[in-house]
Structure 1
Amino acid sequence: MNSSIILATLALAIGSFMNVLDMTIVNVSLSHIAGDFAVAPDQGTWVITSYAVAEAIFLPLIGWLTKRLGIIKQYIGATLLFTLASMLCGVSPTYEFLLTMRILQGVVGASMIPLSQTLMLQLYPKEKKGIALGIWSMTIVIAPVVGPVLGGWVTDTASWRWCFYLNLPFGIISSLIVYSIFKKDISKEKSIKEPIDIVGFIFLAIGVGSLQLMLDKGNDLDWFSSNTIIGLGISAFIFLVLLVIWEWHHESPVVNVRLFLNRNFFVGSFALMFSVLAYFSGVVAIPLWLQNYMGYTAFISGKSTSTLGIAIMMVAPILGKKIDKLDSRKVAALGFFTLGISTFLTSNYSPQITPQYVAMTRFFNGFGVGIFFISLNTLTLSNISDENLASASGIYNFMRNIGSSLGTSLVIPAWNHAMAFHHTMMASTITTANPNISSSLADSPKYLAMINQQVILQSSIMGINDVLIGGGIISLLLIPFLFLAKSTKPIPGEIL
């Protein structure tokens, strides 16, 4: 492997890591941002929502955009614009300006992840594409784990603005390296002036925008008890159905929905969406539980859960070298099985939990995540033609985004419902008929408050265990679904 491939791999990995990191690094800084701009905390969440909606709308458009602009030019341009938008986010004088720059980040940043994946696959020979996918997968999965830790540390030691300034050197370095290595290929890229499917784009923008808004704001508005959420849900369903019908019959679609006719792409994309939902529930819920109920700081909780990334880094290079010679369906099934069983075995958190034990449980979970994520990449994209690779990668990453949005939006109400159930069950036993309850102290407000505090703590622990077990069940249920796809194992004697 020559030095140019190594440098290009590093540059593309930096670009994708920086992009995914930006989705989570500001999560722990929202209260500081809201305070600086004197806006309500619930308004502060638009810093995340604006970025997520813009990126979700433009991810499925990547294939169409690359035909008009070229993969290399689009990646370099998107990375430089993303870096510029990051700097402008950091210097934002008003909250409205910050939201505008976050929208710009989402629009241009949507190209970075799928195109970094596409360029990596084009860079490596077919027999080594697994290595490329392993490295790419590692950066994509680790970034959401590192983001809250890094964001908390940066905000505490400097300012939330530095969460954006961090992107500047990495964005510039990634762009310069990619340009220096691929500059001879830029002139060879063909630009196809395909007509703009305005109707398809409108359906896409309204449908995906409504869906992402519904997922991001569902918790805040109490889901379907809110007319706003009901309206967004109806809008998402209608316009996404119209999008599929329209694009299916359009000669130059903005989204190539016919890719789902490829059985492996269909199975891999939906398996990814639900598996990311399952794994992301722990990524979101465990830090919240540790900080809100166990008294951990953001940095300690982040450090305790970051071991998931260490396991992924151990798996990625080894599996990446071997995956092209294996049946990726069976490898993904092993990953789901590992994640499911490790989740069941470690979902036994208690009030005596230590940071070391949390780190150990997340470390074991990380092996399963690393195995299924890398193998699903191979399963989904292994038999996609080069001309459709950018489009397929855009849709594939869109499905990943929807999975993470589902995991983030559904895990909190699921946890709250589980907590409420366990709280009710335990509270029902706190009567004078219970021999463990002192009848002489039963009327003491201080005594009852102390008991209630313990009940809340215990119910939060039981609730988090339930959430993790639910994620494990989803992982196991996905195993038979994988075998609807075709085997990717090379036939003996086949030339790769």
Structure 2
Amino acid sequence: MTTVTGEDDLVEYGFRRIIITITAVLCALLEIVDTTIVNVALTNMRGSLGATLTDVAWVITAYAIANVIVIPMTSWLSQQFGRRNYFAVSIIIFTVSSFLCGNATNIWELVAFRFIQGLGGGALLVTAQTIITESYPVAKRGMAQAIYGMGVIVGPTLGPPLGGYLVDHFSWPYIFYINIPIGIIATMLTLTFVKSPKYGEKLKSNQVDWWGIVFLASFIGSLQFVLEHGQQDDWFNDDLIVFLSVVSVVGFLLFVWRELTYKYPIVNLGVLKDGNLRVGIVMCFILGFGLYGSTLIIPIYTQSVLGWTATDAGLLLIPGSITTAFMMPIIGMLIQKGVPQSYMVAIGFFIFFCFTLWMHNVITPDTGVENMYWALILRGIGLGLLFVPITTMSLSTLKGKHIGEGAAFTGMMRQLGGSFGIAIITTSITRFSQVHRVNLIANLDPSKIEVQQRVEQLQRGFMAKGFSSNEALGKAYQILDYSVMKQSTILSYMDIFLYLGILFLCCIPIILFVKKGKSKINPADAMH
């Protein structure tokens, strides 16, 4: 039973646990805010660095690719270097590269530093989750996940309004500089308070799974690139996308073969024998799909259709995030009291379905804040019911170092779910818009009296402003074309919300595959 004592050695109480929790949440928040904070600053970066839109998109892509490559390796790296050292070095890499990003003089320098920042950041997310989980006794793990979840859910929403504010009032480098003081504090707290579990012997350099690292990087890196750039490069009509898709599939097969046959694998696939973890990573993927997908589509809709500023679009998401943050400790307490997580997840999926249906019904060319406010509060409740129960359920039957390995899988699948969600949603918006545009134009029959009256009315309006008859007619048709485009875009958003809702509804039966965790919760333990 050596693993159990080792596991209990890491449990902290009182002041130390509070400090460790704050440090870990700070680091998770840093990483996640940085995933979305850049989105609102891309235009300013383009201007000051003289880059094209395709070039500047790499600022997001490079970070995301580095993130998903490093996440599955974090458990192994923690075991090699000691968790505390690895965590501290990751924070230092993240902080130093944030400073370098702010000082970049051209777009490719910025992209390179963002990649390094992503390597540091990916480690923060999973390691923070493992540190929090192991600092709490088993009976309080639900609460531990709730506290961690607050950072993970609030992070993506905080990014855009914070980024918008810094860009509007200062300049884009400040979205990176803001990480520096937090990074310094987090490093000092980590070195002082965080403990490393004893993992046994480290590997010699000739035992390191270098081929595993190469196959993992090629498979995940290529997949992330395909997902990020597929839509703008017209998917499989582009040679690079086809090539990288092949690399991704071959890399995946070689990676699985290598990890199953090598004595010291970099990613322990054996942990996937745990049934709850398998169900959990499917749910994490869908949660990432819904979380990042809806975080993307709402700001795009409010900015492109309703004409809001980036800051206003970001602020709209905050009440829902606060709701989620408020829900987290309540959910943690319910888990401690023994309420089955599977029930919460089922209710969470159903509530998310209700949110998407509500959004499907309220979006129009002139929807106001009041129409979306309560729908987004409902989304916040749904996310609260999903995040913590899914994570605790995934890790509920794991012990010792397997918790870190399991957390790496859930973290990676949530990120990949987000990437798939964003790729599929952006592609679907374009494709659905084209279909709706064709259908709407088919109904604009010039022989119809209503169409003729509308064109004449617009033409007279432009002629009253001093345009000639032909110019006014051209402008009238432009206005009609613009309203058709706007309407077809709105219809495509409605479709997306409907399909997202159906996806979440279809997830409810998956809960039947969850087994009850072996660790029975003793009410006396919960009273610590």
The 5-angstrom pairing of residues 191-230 of structure 1 reads 192-193=202-203, 195-230=207-242
3-state SS of paired residue (2:63)? helix
State the alpha-carbon separation in 1 of the partners of residues 454 and 421 from structure 2.
46
The alpha-carbon distance between structure 1 residues 450 and 273, as it changes in their structure 2 partners (threshold 3 A), is same
Quick one: structure 1 residues 431 and 188, their matched pair in 2 at CA, closer, same or farther if it must change by over 3 Å? closer
Contact 1:268 1:377 in 2 (8 A): yes
How far is 1:188 from its partner? 6.1
> Offset of 1:190 from its aligned partner?
5.2
Unaligned runs of 5+ in 2: 1-12, 460-472
Displacement of 1:43 in angstroms is: 0.5
Aligned counterpart, 1:420? 434
Aligned to 1:407: 421
Contact 1:327 1:489 in 2 (8 A): no
Deviations 1:82-106 (A, max 9, x none): 1111111111233332222111111
Query: C-alpha distance in 2, partners of 1:52/1:108?
Result: 12
- What's 2:390 paired with? 376
The match for 2:39 among 8, 24, 27 is 27
Whichever residue aligns with residue 308 of structure 1, its letter is G
CA distance in 2, matches of 1:330, 1:391: 26
1:450 aligns with 2:479: yes
**Residue aligning to 1:390:** 404
Q: CA RMSD in A?
A: 2.0
Deviation at 1:461, TM superposition (A): 1.8
- For 1:333, the equivalent position in structure 2 comes to 346
Offset at residue 488 of structure 1 (A): 3.4
Distance verdict in 2 for CA 1:186–1:199, change over 3 Å: closer
How far apart, CA to CA, are the structure 2 residues paired with 1:92 and 1:31?
Answer: 16
Q: CA deviation at 1:54?
A: 1.3
Whole-Å Cα distance in 1 between the matches of residues 152 and 523 of structure 2?
A: 31
State the distance in 1 between where 2:501 and 2:485 align.
24
Please state whether the residue corresponding to 1:45 is helix, strand or coil. Answer: helix
Contact 1:326 1:489 in 2 (8 A): no
User: How far does residue 493 in structure 1 lie from its aligned partner after superposition?
Assistant: 7.4
* Between 59-68 and 305-314, the greater mean CA deviation after superposition: 305-314
**TM-score under structure 2 length normalisation:** 0.89
Asked whether 1:77 is paired with 2:106, we answer: no
SS in 1 for 2:493: helix
Q: 1:395 to 1:488 in 2, by over 3 A?
A: same
State the Cα distance separating 1:440 from its structure 2 match. Answer: 8.7
Aligned equivalent of 1:473? 502
Q: Is residue 58–residue 110 contact of structure 1 (8 Å, CA) maintained in 2?
A: yes
Letter in 2 for 1:398: M
Deviates more, 1:164-173 or 1:482-491: 482-491
- Could you say which residue in structure 1 is the equivalent of 2:466? none
Structure 1 position 41, deviation (Å)? 1.6
Shift of 1:482: 2.4
User: Aligned letter for 1:343?
Assistant: T
Match of 2:512 among 471, 483, 488: 483
Structure 1 residues 256-267: aligned runs within 5 Å: 256-267=268-279
Query: Which letter maps to 1:87?
Result: F
Indicate how the Cα distance of structure 1 residues 155 and 472 shifts in structure 2: closer, same or farther if over 3 A, else same: same
Distance 1:187 1:439 in 2: 77
Could you say what secondary structure the match of 2:443 adopts? Answer: coil
Shift of 1:29: 1.1
Report the CA distance between 1:287 and its aligned residue: 0.6
What residue is the counterpart of 1:316 in the other structure?
328
Give the share of equivalent positions with the same residue, in percent: 26
After superposition, where does 1:53-202 map in structure 2 within 5 Å? 53-182=65-194, 185-186=195-196, 192-193=202-203, 195-202=207-214
Amino acid at match of 1:4: R
Q: Distance in 2 between matches of 1:473 and 1:107?
A: 35
Paired with 2:263 and 2:519, the residues of 1 have a C-alpha distance of 34
Q: Identify which range, 296-305 or 344-353, moves more after superposition.
A: 344-353
Unaligned runs of 5+ in 1: none
Q: Deviations over 1:149-202 (max 9, x none)?
A: 2111111111110000010111112222232223xx459675522520111111
Q: Write the deviation string for residues 373-426 of structure 1: whole angstroms up to 9, x where unpaired.
A: 111101111111112222221222111110111111111111122222222222
Q: Is the 8 A contact 1:276 1:407 kept in 2?
A: yes
Whichever residue aligns with residue 202 of structure 2, its letter is I
Amino acid in the other structure paired with 1:216: E
Aligned to 2:378: 364
The aligned amino acid for 1:351 is: P
Residues 233-382 of structure 1 aligned to structure 2 (within 5 Å): 233-324=245-336, 325-348=338-361, 349-382=363-396
Residue 489 of structure 1, CA deviation: 8.4
* Distance change (3 Å), C-alpha of 1:190 and 1:154: farther
Compared with structure 1, are the counterparts of its residues 476 and 219 closer, same or farther at alpha carbon in structure 2 (3 Å cutoff)?
A: same
**Deviations 1:413-462 (CA, angstroms, capped at 9, x unpaired):** 11122222222222211113434222594693232222222222222222
Displacement of 1:370 after TM fit? 1.5
The alpha-carbon deviation at position 267 of structure 1 amounts to 0.8
Deviation at 1:21, TM superposition (A): 0.8
User: 1:430 corresponds to which residue?
Assistant: 444
Describe the SS at the equivalent of 2:513: coil
Q: Is the 8 A contact 1:149 1:302 kept in 2?
A: yes
- Which residue identity lines up with residue 328 of structure 1 in the other structure? Q
Q: Which moved more, 1:161-170 or 1:340-349?
A: 340-349
Question: Could you say if the C-alpha distance between residues 439 and 494 of structure 1 is closer, same or farther in structure 2, counting changes exceeding 3 Å?
Answer: closer
Deviation at 1:2, TM superposition (A): 1.9
Q: Normalising to structure 1: TM-score of the pair?
A: 0.95
Q: Which secondary structure state, in structure 1, belongs to the residue aligned with residue 444 of structure 2?
A: coil
Q: Which deviates more from structure 2 when the two are superposed, residues 485-494 or residues 160-169?
A: 485-494
Which residue in the other structure is 2:489 paired with?
460
For residue 505 of structure 2, what is the amino acid of its counterpart? L
Rounded to whole Å, the distance in 2 between the matches of 1:14 and 1:405 is 24
After superposing the two structures, state which structure 1 stretch, 277-286 or 42-51, moved more.
Answer: 277-286
Secondary structure at the aligned position of 2:231 is classed as coil
Q: Distance in 2 between matches of 1:120 and 1:71?
A: 12
